[in-house]
Amino acid sequence: MTDKSNNTTHFGYKTVESDQKVDMVASVFHSVAAKYDVMNDLMSMGIHRLWKRFTIDCSGVRQGHKVLDLAGGTGDLTAKFSRIVGDTGSVTLADINDSMLKVGRAKLRDRGIVGNVTYVQANAEELPFPDNHFDLITIAFGLRNVTDKDKALASMFRVLKPGGRLLVLEFSKPDSEALNKVYDFYSFNILPKMGELIADDGDSYQYLAESIRMHPNQDTLKGMMETVGFESVEYHNLTGGIVALHRGYKF
């Protein structure tokens, strides 16, 4: 969480100046962008595809909708939403990191997904879109990297249409102590080594493991969404709470 009293925040387990975190996170994702998809498959043993499929199933997206895939990275959700909303709808893939956007744009164009997708480099805390603009906003595995999460959630609420919904897919807290211990061992002993071998960058994956532990747990994030105005907020634990999908509405 950001400490507004002295303008510091966390970068993994480190305490840093709030205005430094954006550049530090950017450095991580510039480093991992090229191997991002490969590492996602290896780290999750492919299960991230099921988590994203569940997110799609919970989205309620229909033909003609406007979707914002925030922190959309290499475009997995964007690709699926593009097919659902069709020619009368649109999907905006937004990410603060230019390297991730470039990888995502190249991947989607290689798949022939071009007509209804736009790409925007944007900070989640200050979204450059009109009020009441999107039918759906998703942010998958990105909120934990945001410096001021409350500000970002408020920004998402502003650009969402009345009747629209926000879906936050993010690593969370396992719901059993036994699973938590196994997950900790994997995250801090295996994951950085995988990052070093596959992406030649163990430090970035050490940060990613730490950032997961510093992210608000399920109930805390639910409360944060409610505080900025979202209603009927609920969450679903996936894979024993290793990941949670939060859903909230703007009425």
Structure-token pair, residue 8: 């510091």
Q: Which residues contribute to the annotated binding site?
A: 74, 95, 123-124
Cβ proximity of 79 and 114 under 8 Å = no
β-bridge pairing 90-95 and 117-121: parallel
* Binding site feature residues for S-adenosyl-L-methionine: 74, 95, 123-124
